[in-house]
Chain A
Amino acid sequence: MDLLEYQGKQLFARRDVPVPAGRHALTVEEATAAADEVGFPCVVKAQVQIGGRGKAGGIKVANSRDEVREHAEAILGMDIRGLTVHELWIEAASEIASEYYASVVFDRSAKAPLLMLSTKGGMDIEEVAAEDPGAIARLHVDPLLGFQDFHGRRLAYEAGVDADVVRPVGAMLAKLYEVFVSEDATLVEVNPLIVTGSAGEADGQRDVKALDAKVTLDDNAMYRHPDNAQLRDPSREDPQERMAKERGLTYVKLDGDIGILGNGAGLVMSTLDVVAEAGGSPANFLDAGGGSKAEAITSAVEVILSNPKVKAVLFNIFGGITRCDEVARGLIEAFDQIKPEVPFVVRLDGTNDEEGRRLLAEASLPNVHIAATMDGAAAKVVELAREAETAAA
């Protein structure tokens, strides 16, 4: 689960990562009230899960109540690269001396957490990595040992942070690592990590703060973080994806018009590819899972057909633990309950496939085509979707 900036910052605050004071707001009135609490100047920040908010006009500094009102009105409802802004974060403005970058990444390849630190913060880190890879200091942490203070010092010196902030930057990295492990995150990124105040100040040490927060949490670990599980906002999710999640189905919405159901993630991914290869465009990924029972199939058909773009549906089942006769029963039940208007192509192979095909033949469902192979099924469903499109035009 990807968190919004303010959710990430609230998580940071809980783990003592220094962040600017801020308040959440859903309306213009809440925004002005929030600004009164955090004080002026403050920053009105659009809360959407996409980069480039600043360039799109989604982040504005306000020096007065009227300016907060003006910016909140402009930003709420704004479209930022396809996402509508429904939430704001009102934050005390920070004095910025330098902008750094810090992250903890789940490095699958090295099978260890990867810490990164750079003094080139505030810009797209992938661009920095491409243009000036030496500007990013990197270090893997042994997950059995955990973060050690020397890790922080090594990164800070290697990245070349200002001498007076080596210690606070190291402390910040230690806390970010703590967030990464304790919250079961797979990504903790701070860009920019800011240095406040000016170098050589009389009181000695300057401070650092996380001015942004990008956090991804592991869905598989949510059972041990009930507070974090609450951060999920179903209203932000796609309606079909939400419906599928409630039914315990693995579903990903895509742009096309051919509904797909299969069993096993790899086979479903492969089915999407084969349909695309045949000239079609899949409307979804749906893994009905191992051992799919009839009710699960009926439920899945409902989810697929609730997407109005779907013009034809392909069932691609290779029965291992899943029994093809169960899938056939589910489909027959679905036709009985939902009475689909779009054509179906069904390919059943593997455990009890003959029985499954016999059941389907007996039921003689309207507009259901049986295919012998995966490739043949893909070609047929693409043809049917094209026919439906032509008929509609």
Chain B
Amino acid sequence: MSILVDRDTRLCVSGITGREGTFHSLRNRDYGTQVVGGVTPGKGGQDVDGIPVFDTFHDAVESTGANTAMIFVPPRFAADSILEAEDAGIELIVAITEGIPAHDELRVFNKLNADGRARLIGPNCPGILSPGKANVGIIPAAFFREGNVGVVSRSGTLTYQIGNVIAQQGFGNSTIVGIGGDPVPGSDFIDVIAMFQEDSETELIVMCGEIGGDAEERAADFIEANVTKPVVAYIAGFTAPPGKTMGHAGAIVSGSQGTAQAKAEALEAKGVRVGRTPTEVAELAVSLLGDARSASSLA
């Protein structure tokens, strides 16, 4: 098992004819993901290396049975594209686009939430990788192998850093989910952690948070109440000054709100182990997995 994407994923890419869209669609297909179509208004009937292009998501879904969308269009078109995908009946929408206006994200979130038909991952995220099964997005798959660690993160490269150390110790991942660095992510830590809790393959969960908002604090409460699997966390941004946006639009300490310190303390108070460096997080994860293995071999 894995969560969100697997061998049954049928992917349709919005913006497939753009430079980045083409590059990553083909990479995802090379990995083994079923990339069944793309959408670029005005280019319906064309193809990208054999992948059919449609004018609308509705056409694409009707012709290909796509169940997952990846959004690669520029920020000013992205909210519209997400809403179109939902309207066409797509169940999982992965938005890679960075720089979508915050109010657009607010409207999209509330519309999807009210309808309850589609799940959005991102925007401003690296996507989702279930090693050995499917890759939807821009996560470099070469660093990850199949295994039992579920990862959920607000940051891309930080995830690769931690995942790489875990892989070097001989462990792999069930699924890696980048929820993105924007102020209004379509899915939050809680949504993804709940899925990992239910996933039979996932034995341990790593969450990578950062400054800004209170998603980590809310996740801490959720974990205490609902999660039986071990959770290891990392929080980036202890040295970030207040009032400055640190790269990600959502990474900002506002007054005394959203500090790394407060997040780490909230998680630790609920029994989550928090590593001070990415290496320490990977080591914590590896030692917990090692304990689980030796315990099961003794039993």
Residue B12 at the A interface, CB < 8 A? no
Do A350 and B218 touch across chains, with their CB atoms under 8 A apart? no
Residue B134 at the A interface, CB < 8 A? no
What are some 12 contacts across the A-B interface (CB < 8 A)? A106-B183, A220-B99, A220-B101, A220-B102, A223-B76, A252-B246, A267-B158, A273-B237, A318-B160, A320-B139, A320-B140, A375-B277
Do A265 and B155 touch across chains, with their CB atoms under 8 A apart? yes
Residue A270 at the B interface, CB < 8 A? yes
Give min CB distance, B102 to chain A, whole Å.
Answer: 5
Q: Across the interface, which residues of B come within 8 angstroms of A290, CB to CB?
A: 138, 156-157
Contact of B238 among A111, A262, A276 (CB under 8 A): A276
In the complex, besides A273-B276, A374-B279, 11 extra interface pairs with C-beta distance below 8 angstroms are A109-B218, A111-B110, A184-B103, A186-B183, A220-B102, A266-B158, A270-B234, A285-B247, A287-B247, A290-B156, A320-B126
Residue B299 at the A interface, CB < 8 A? no
A267 to B240, CA, bound (A): 13
Do B183 and A318 touch across chains, with their CB atoms under 8 A apart? no
Do B111 and A270 touch across chains, with their CB atoms under 8 A apart? no
* 9 nearest CB pairs, A to B: A266-B155, A265-B247, A264-B157, A266-B158, A221-B101, A267-B157, A269-B236, A320-B140, A265-B248
Knowing A108-B184, A220-B75, A266-B154 are in contact, say whether A350-B160 is a contact too (CB < 8 A): yes
Q: Across the interface, which residues of B come within 8 angstroms of A144, CB to CB?
A: 107, 110-111, 114
Per-position binary interface string of chain B over residues 234-274, scored 1 when its CB falls under 8 Å from any chain A CB and 0 otherwise:
10111111001111111100010000100000000000000
Give min CB distance, B193 to chain A, whole Å.
Answer: 17
Knowing A252-B246, A277-B277, A285-B247 are in contact, say whether A351-B140 is a contact too (CB < 8 A): yes
Do B164 and A350 touch across chains, with their CB atoms under 8 A apart? yes
Q: Which residue of B lies closest to A218 (CB)?
A: B102
Do B110 and A269 touch across chains, with their CB atoms under 8 A apart? no
A221 to B79, CA, bound (A): 12
A106 to B257, CA, bound (A): 14
Q: Across the interface, which residues of A come within 8 angstroms of B109, CB to CB?
A: 111
Q: Across the interface, which residues of A come within 8 angstroms of B215, CB to CB?
A: 109
Give min CB distance, B26 to chain A, whole Å.
Answer: 14
Q: Across the interface, which residues of A come within 8 angstroms of B100, CB to CB?
A: 220
Do A181 and B103 touch across chains, with their CB atoms under 8 A apart? yes
Which residues from 75 to 113 on chain B have a C-beta closer than 8 Å to any C-beta of chain A? 75-76, 99-104, 106-107, 109-111, 113
Residue B213 at the A interface, CB < 8 A? yes
Residue B151 at the A interface, CB < 8 A? no
Knowing A268-B247, A273-B238 are in contact, say whether A143-B107 is a contact too (CB < 8 A): yes
Residue B200 at the A interface, CB < 8 A? no
Do A350 and B140 touch across chains, with their CB atoms under 8 A apart? yes
Q: Across the interface, which residues of A come within 8 angstroms of B107, CB to CB?
A: 143-144
Residue A259 at the B interface, CB < 8 A? no
Which residues from 218 to 252 on chain A have a C-beta closer than 8 Å to any C-beta of chain B? 218-221, 223-224, 250, 252
The interface of chain B, by Cβ under 8 A from chain A, is 75-76, 99-104, 106-107, 109-111, 113-114, 126, 138-140, 142-143, 153-161, 164, 181, 183-184, 208, 210-215, 218, 234, 236-241, 244-251, 255, 260, 276-279
Which residues from 306 to 325 on chain A have a C-beta closer than 8 Å to any C-beta of chain B? 318-321
Most buried by A among B110, B140, B236, B238: B236
Q: Across the interface, which residues of A come within 8 angstroms of B236, CB to CB?
A: 266, 269-270, 273
Do A266 and B277 touch across chains, with their CB atoms under 8 A apart? no
Give min CB distance, A127 to chain B, whole Å.
Answer: 12
Q: Across the interface, which residues of A come within 8 angstroms of B114, CB to CB?
A: 144
A375 to B101, CA, bound (A): 36
Do A373 and B279 touch across chains, with their CB atoms under 8 A apart? yes
Q: Which residue of B lies closest to A269 (CB)?
A: B236
Knowing A111-B184, A350-B160 are in contact, say whether A266-B239 is a contact too (CB < 8 A): no
Residue A178 at the B interface, CB < 8 A? no
Q: Across the interface, which residues of A come within 8 angstroms of B238, CB to CB?
A: 272-273, 276
Do A252 and B244 touch across chains, with their CB atoms under 8 A apart? yes
Residue A199 at the B interface, CB < 8 A? no
Residue A95 at the B interface, CB < 8 A? no
Q: Which residue of A lies closest to B212 (CB)?
A: A108
Residue A118 at the B interface, CB < 8 A? no
